[in-house]
Chain A
């Protein structure tokens, strides 16, 4: 097997400086560092100093939590403005609209069915197709429970997860199992499967 050696290595272009010392046959050129490489190094150091100066040393500092809270409050205001007013009659009306109910059914299947079962019969969460309601059975009450959740019972706060549009659709889907004007009876929470 032929061992490549550095014995006959000529410096290229006659400009390169070859350091005389050999380490186990290895030699080193002493080429200048590429300018573009030095530029990256210098720029990144300058950026680091500048970033620190602007953000920490002389700036207002960074408070990501505070900034985020403000941003999200603005977003919530804007969203509330856009969604308009929902009412009991409007939700009943939506429950007659097959397109809305179909949308609601799809959301229900993913988000609600694991606890309330696909046929609304209830398992971990209460039955949603009988006339017994733990937290109120008026359309806006149902919408409110979905939005806010019931922390003690494990009902999640769906507001930020689904948004008003989808929650209205799910409410309409649940209402499609009911009739406007039917009795809304209070249920004993203990009696419900939990």
Chain B
């Protein structure tokens, strides 16, 4: 079985060199995948249990839903899929470019560095160190470590490409290149921040800017961390395992470039019907729809590669997992565009439907691709047959039933929540289910189903871990090597950076894209000219093609022999969308009124309370964004305006409403209501799922951090008045004493220096933007007037 002494198909008499692959690092990443996979899923099952039984929060700060959910998402994305993709990339790249990884030291630093980061995340997140941005919660020192280790990986990867003995790049490597470049850009931009201490920082973007940057990152973490590298892995491992050629090379080309170009634009579909400017919402929607075909291109190339060996799919676990994974990929990438349609999103957003959608992709696509890859790799890395094929098959069915149970539960629950929370009566002037808890209690049984589904999936995964353990126990690691004939790129195929861009297909594409952007952004004559420019470019391209009879295949073959121009073109394709969408919002003047409102900065105590809100992860269950939808406005008050959150660092618009929206919770209830509610939510809201927060009543607020935090916010452009440190602290203390006195009058005496007092100060401020100089935002629904 070992690929040792494989011969090359060309130049049989040329001088051969012997290459020993670095499979040690592959083995390490593979085992880490198994370990972190179990950890991530275990936390997931605990969270699912907490949604079914609030008691599972165990009244302990570091085990509450708000702190653990970031651990679950980060563990599954960066620890489980991260280690899996590194294993796959290291294994396949070395073989596809016929070279050992350039540096064993860099490979080792990458592996151990990444594991250290995961351990740091697993410690800091439960302790409440969080940036409050989804899948980007880790605090700034860890962010720097992630960036450094990612660059180590990138350096190692590109260095290996440079030392390759294979003339041209296979499609899997294209996807790896896109991954390395894009993740770097996304990660750095979304983690720009100014530290206020060793463990706390404010992001440089606030409000709508932060929302846009966050979901540009969040959506493309899905695209370039969970999808493109795994597509690359599919392109290597599926044909290898099936023993069949890839279905279509030209489909690879079209779907690769369209994915790289289009994906980056789709981020705003996470912000549909919100205060985000409507042109961005429309871009988010139409680009998501355009992603349907490119995504399905990957599915087609995967499934059709299995033509001719479907009989083996029935019996071989590896192919079984791959076929199911690719099918789930197709399902999730169909559901994604569907959920990006504004009107459907009005129903699905903030509900469990989204949760079901990501889990069908994470469990089905990522989890099953990982399983197929691991079952295929283990015999080739340890030179041992798999201990039990039956166990692997049992894993498959446990996983399959688990996913279906989970996803079906989330569909029913999500649609129920969406329908109940938006249902109106009396000509649309009244909510049909005014009590938010109605939707919570109606879907509680589905929380049990999802916990069961998740547990089944995890059981299958643990069975795989045990199977692998039995397989490799006592096995000697295999040092795979191969003899290859180096294939240097001939001089005729050399393509410089400049000639990579200055050629018809690239110029036509760029011309078309620029004209389209011009048409979209310019008005009047200039916009019209751009429209004609688009038509002209298409016509010229067709004529050129017709006259010369070329499809530029030779040019593309040449490009594939030149990693640098290829990577440069990938970078440009990936950057366009981000630049067009982010720049106008980032450059806008935050101090101008936005929709008639520009919030006053938070008072010192309110700011402290807000940082607690972020630390406790309240955004995991509560949004702060009343959408432009009748159901939202009837339930929560006037729809949110951009100006109301413009000085929010970070933004907390949220992505899921396990509890109600909080954008206008301020002054809705007296202080004592919040006091009792935070202490025991069920005393006030029978049937609530919310954890109790007893520690907020005993922990002291460390107000001394405030002067520094306010100084940083001032630097970021928040118009805080000039105040001395002493004045800031005195303000905060006076505020706290006022609230504590009010609580005391209401029969709940409390020391003003407790955290709960600061949190109440923040909660009572929400929705009270103190608009300048226009009147306060109307809090009552227009319908009642």
The residues of A with any CB-CB pair to B shorter than 8 Å are 1-6, 9, 12, 18-19, 21-34, 37-38, 40-41, 44-45, 47-49, 51-52, 55-57, 61-65, 67-69, 71-73, 75-76, 78-79, 82-83, 110-111, 114-115, 124, 147-149, 151-154, 156-166, 193-194
Contacts of B16 in A (CB 8 A): none
- One of B59-67, B187-195, B249-257, B460-468 contacting the partner: B249-257
Q: Cβ of B245 and Cβ of A9 under 8 Å apart?
A: yes
Find the B residue at minimum CB distance from A190: B745
Which residues of B sit under 8 angstroms from A32, Cβ to Cβ?
248, 250
Asked if B245 contacts A29 (CB within 8 A), the reply is: yes
Residues in chain A near residue B595, CB distance under 8 A: 65
B561 to chain A, nearest CB (A): 11
B430 near A163 with CB under 8 A, answer: yes
Contact call B282/A41, Cβ cutoff below 8 A: no
Contact B434 A41 (CB under 8 A): no
Q: Is B230 an interface residue (CB 8 A)?
A: no
B252 adjacent to A28 (CB under 8 Å): yes
Given B168, B304, B634, B673, which contacts A21 in the complex, CB threshold below 8 Å? B168
> Could you tell me which residues of chain B, from 634 to 659, have a CB within 8 Å of some CB in chain A?
634-635, 639, 641
Q: Shortest Cβ distance from A100 into chain B, in angstroms?
A: 17
If A48-B290, A164-B426 touch, whether A28 touches B673 (CB-CB below 8 Å) is no
Known A1-B385, A75-B783, A194-B670; judge A27-B246 contact (CB<8 A): yes
Contacts of B239 in A (CB 8 A): 6, 26-27
Question: Hey, which chain A residues are within 8 Å of B427, CB to CB?
Answer: 75, 78-79, 82
Give the residues in chain A near B519, CB-CB below 8 Å.
57
**Which A residues are CB-close (under 8 A) to B314?**
none
Residues of B within 8 A of A110 (CB): 435
In the complex, 26 of the A-B residue pairs with CB atoms within 8 angstroms, ordered by the A residue number, are: A1-B1, A3-B1, A3-B243, A4-B242, A6-B239, A6-B243, A9-B243, A29-B249, A32-B248, A33-B248, A33-B251, A37-B296, A41-B254, A48-B289, A56-B279, A62-B282, A79-B428, A110-B435, A148-B784, A151-B667, A152-B667, A154-B669, A158-B434, A159-B784, A160-B429, A160-B634
Nearest to B254 among chain A residues (CB) is: A33
Name the residue in B290, B297, B379 with the highest tally of chain A Cβ atoms < 10 Å from its Cβ: B290
Contacts A56-B282, A68-B630, A161-B634; is A154 near B667 (CB within 8 Å)?
yes
A12 nearest CB across to chain B (Å): 7
Chain B's interface size range is 35 or more
> Is B245 within 8 A of A26, CB to CB?
yes
Would you give the shortest CB distance from B12 to chain A, in whole angstroms?
14
Please tell me which one of the listed residues A1, A22, A79 contacts residue B426 in the complex, with CB atoms under 8 A apart: A79
Collect the chain A residues with CB atoms within 8 Å of residue B222's CB: none
B580 at the binding interface (Cβ < 8 Å):
no
Q: Contact at B246–A29, with CB atoms within 8 Å? A: yes
| Cβ 8 A contact of B782, one of A24, A69, A193 | A69
A57 to B434, alpha carbons, bound, how many Å? 39
Whether, in the assembled complex, B520 has its beta carbon less than 8 Å from a beta carbon of chain A, the answer is yes
Closest chain B CB from A173 CB (angstroms) = 16
